[in-house]
Chain A
Amino acid sequence: MAGPVSRRQLLIGGGLGASAVVAAAAGMSPIRFEAAAESQHVHDEKPRQWAMVIDLRKCDGCKKCTEACQTEHELPQSFEWIKVFQVQDKQGRMYNMPRPCFQCENAPCLKVCPVAATFRVKDGVVLVDQDKCIGCRMCMAACPYGARYFNYNEPPAPTHPFQMKATPEHPVPQQKGTVGKCMFCVHRTAEGQLPACVEACGMEAIWLGDLVEDVATNGHETVRLSQFLKDNDAFRYKEDLGTAPRVYYIAGHGQLLDA
């Protein structure tokens, strides 16, 4: 199971040979996840590269995505892994901007973690291993988007009577004293389901895309991702920081492209 590929992946995620060996020896989750992912994409030459497109023209700020996310991950009210901002543009008009984790390709949070508790899996999603996180909150200081949430208090009691052990792919319940964030619902995408927020959006404003197959869907329509981004002048938030987010926005109310 822990073939050379997943070991290398771990090295990339872990930054250090020693940590990779330790993690592999302890049978830690990245390997389990990759095994699951491999069975899923058994016909694919490459793993999927998840991306998200959020259509600001359609978002009406109902926060159904936030609620669905909180239900899915059994989060308290104050944990808005996908948070809907009400933004005033420079002309004074209001629009809504949902912000999940951007799963940056050049993720600042990933670089600063002292124990490599936050790592990237094969399909480009950045996860947190809460069994490893020491709670230093350096990643929260490093994230330019405020996408990370620290469990200051005990998370709510699990609603499911036979709760499975939390894993980085399904971090439910959250662990007190550690950091959590949006993980594009990799436990759902691995099963062929859309992330909870995408599914819950009544305005069909959130699209899940795959950069490799170049498709995106909001659960109702499917489009060619690159063409869709090009046609709609999609932009990435704070592009100038060089973090290369995997989340694209489509502006539509005349707001400036750098939001």
Chain B
Amino acid sequence: MKLPVAVDAMGGDNAPQDVVLGARQAASELGVAVTLVGQPEAIEAADPGDLEVFAATEIIGMHDEPGAAVRNKKDSSLVRAAELVRDGRASAMVSAGNTGAGMAAALLRMGRIKGVSRPGIATPIPVPGASPTILLDSGANADCQPAWLVQFAQMGSAYCTARFGVAEPKVALLSIGEEDSKGSTLVKETRELLRDAPGVNFVGNVEGRDLMSDAADVVVTDGFTGNVTLKTMEGLFRWLYGALFGVMTNTPERQAAFDVLWPGLEPLIAELDPDSYGGAVLLGVDGICIISHGSSSPFALRNAIKLADDMAAADLVGALAAAVASR
């Protein structure tokens, strides 16, 4: 029997309502088996339909300190979801709650894949007309060592193949120029290691502007830089959308022109919408863990649950273990 995806029903800005709705969509529209984990009364009030509910009495909040929360809230929805995966009762977990706690719960309950120094968060960056660029680490490890980035390259390549079917993903290192002489000490030392890293098709350095191009399929960096990059892009897009829509609709004439343009714009905007990709994957833990944005819509959660189910079916963990073992 196919295992369900364990979904942290209490995690997220609009939990449990949006989480339950997304889970119902994943089940009814995509055929994914789901177990909602959380407080039964709250879940019931959000109308879970016939989805299975696994009771957990506590909630880890967005501002709880991750490590302490996982240690002290042992009956929280997040911890219980990770335990369902550890115990073989769920194929994967999804949470839109506290990102750090999600990482901690996955790491402490599932453990790491043998040989992995540090798990990293892999986030897809949309590329119009092509498969997304996978950016990692996008926030798990603020300070990194060169050998960790090599593992991110190996795991990112395996993930890119499993998720997007790219046979030999192009791997690049995020820097401030293509030349060997440019970049931080971490970048220069990592570059030397990546040249000879097994299982990595290293194509050299790329700059931030290359993320939304087909220059690379996987871009590795430390978690601090990755997170700043990601949040900068999010902020820029949010501002750009707002400004453009404002200017294009603020008079009747412009609104009429906009209405003509809209059928052409809509697919592009859908392609750039992070909700289409559901969430980021924590690579390196011994189980599938999808971390979604706190403000995820039901549509985003639906897609995150589908992603979790797909990655479990593709044996992503096995692929990552093999990739890291090839060092």
A binds B: no
User: Chain A interface (Cβ within 8 Å of chain B)?
Assistant: none
